Amino acid sequence: MRRLVPYLAVLPLALILGGYVIYPLWATFVTSLQAGGRFSLDHYRAFFDRQYTAPMEALVTSLGISLLSVLLAGFVGVSLAFLLNRLEFPGRRLLQTLVLVPISLPPLVGVLSFMFLYGESGIVPRALQHLLGLEQVPFALRGIAGVLAVHTFTMYPFFYMTTATALQGLDPSLEEAARSLGATGWQVWRRVTMPMLTPALVAGSLLVFMQSMASYTAPLLFGVDRTLTMQIYVARTNGDLAMASAFSSVLSMVSIAFLFFMRWYQDRRVYRSLSKGVAYHRAEVRSPLLRWAAMVLSVLGTVLVLLPVFVLVLVSFSVNARWTVQVLPPEYTLENYAAIFSDPRFWEPVRTSLETSFLATVAAALFSVAAAYVVLRLPIRGRGLLDAAIMLPWALPGTVVAINLIAAFNQPGPLTLGRVLVGTFWILPLAYFVRLMPLVFRSTAAALAQQDPSLEEVARSLGATWLYSFRRVVLPLMMPGVLGGALLAFVEGIGEFVASILLYTPDNVPISVEIFRRMYSFEFGTATAYGVLQIVLILIVLGISNRLHGGGRAPAVI
């Protein structure tokens, strides 16, 4: 009987994962195999039909954009990581902080900032047109180029953070030993540095690829219709849930396949230093020319990073529907912010985002504490399978999660207590819970893995019950990881747009969807005021998270 107790603890976790992750994924796949109430492969035949080219074009375009985003974001992020973590020059510390600013920009807000800056009616093209006396703007971001520019700017921090962390743990004596043996700089980079950075590069590649495949806002606003996320939204909007499910299933397969490929690539070799762990050092730039070049790069990098945020703040004070062909908004007002804080109708989206994100985060934290303890401490079989099931939503784009929930809960069932969840308030926190659960779990599991199990065993040997030792010993030591993951998840929930656009109802509109609606009503001032408020909320939460983790050390969530 005692052997069955751990498995009884697993049962609630398995029910939650099975009911709200595996079952919706299966329901989407089953829906994609139905046509006219019977089993059919028509939707997949249409997907791969050469005469109906839109689905295959969407697949190829999504793959191409995602792979190019990985390459471009990787180049920028890794280059900045080496520049700011291997060289010492004036302005380095300032830029080291500012390069992470794009992380505070929610996806929709980040795309809007690029449109206001570099779009066809953007500030920079209009300014150059007036300055050079041209009849038309000299350039404008549009199409795939615009999508790639946004992805590179908003996603390079993933590569920067993982690479910077890896560089701090890399023993420079390895590179020095290679050079002393006659290796050239390129050989040292290829044979020593890059192999040791492989886990960091794999982690960054996974994050960027998943984010790019899930990208909906950038293709929508830059006019790229042939992507899988756009096709899912069009099919869902047209009421063709079966075709939307087919697109979602293909997108899930591609994302999961890339996840397994990158894990296979990483696991081919062991990337572990056997040195004594000598701390790395920065090389000071002594050449005056190089020091000036580094300072110029620092200033340019600072301007490029902060310019989108400055533009959002500027436009948030503009009068709605007055900014047309001018370089800058012609009139400014405080009414956009006054309306948000004084009119209950304007405050509703803020309340909805805070409520749904809070509920999802609390649920994810409670689940993650139990799941981390089961996976790392209980002697049960199948722990690896449970871990994989928890991390599965991390490989699923937000559009896929939304379609999965629509397919699973558009009719009453035991998992919904006999209610239809689609079209209600509760579908949003459920979607956020599914999407954010892996993030909180990984942070919580990392904190628990650092604990010595003997601490709990000592408490038990002194007569403490399991519940008492868990509450007084295990949980306090886990709490930094739980809070760190929960705060980051709360940030993600506040900025979530991709799943929200498919699941929201007119009575429950989150901030991101309200920004989208205001923008399409040409209420740029109100839309960006919401965006600035969203950024402020996120920065506050990130500041709290930073203080909880010792002034800069982020929790391990990858």
Give the rounded distance of the alpha carbon of 122 from its chain centre: 26
Cα→Cα distances 488→210, 365, 448, Å: 17, 11, 18
Q: Is the pLDDT of residue 72 over 90?
A: yes
Closest Cα partner for 16 from 259, 358, 364, 357?
364
> What's residue 428's pLDDT?
93
DSSP class of 425: T
Q: How confident is the model over 10-67, as pLDDT tens digits? A: 788 888 888 888 888 888 888 888 887 788 888 888 888 777 777 888 889 999 999 9
For the segment 259-285, the average pLDDT, to the nearest whole number, is 58
% of the chain at pLDDT higher than 90: 7
Structure tokens at 110: 């980040």
Q: How confident is the model over 319-363, as pLDDT tens digits? A: 887 777 777 888 888 888 888 788 778 888 888 999 999 999 999
Q: Is the pLDDT of residue 276 over 50?
A: no
Q: Where are the beta strands (DSSP E) in 347-453?
A: none
CA dihedral defined by 483, 404, 14, 369, rounded to 10 degrees? 0
The answer to whether 362 and 214 have CB atoms below 8 angstroms apart is no
For the segment 192-213, the average pLDDT, to the nearest whole number, is 78
Structure tokens at 303: 């301007």
Q: How confident is the model over 400-439, as pLDDT tens digits? A: 888 889 888 888 888 777 788 888 889 999 999 998 888 8
Q: Is the pLDDT of residue 522 over 50?
A: yes
pLDDT averaged over every residue in the chain: 79
Q: Which residue has the higher pLDDT, 520 or 146?
A: 146
Q: The tokens 């047109």 sit on which residue? A: 129
Q: Which residue has the higher pLDDT, 502 or 199?
A: 502
pTM: 0.77
3-state DSSP call for residue 442? Answer: helix
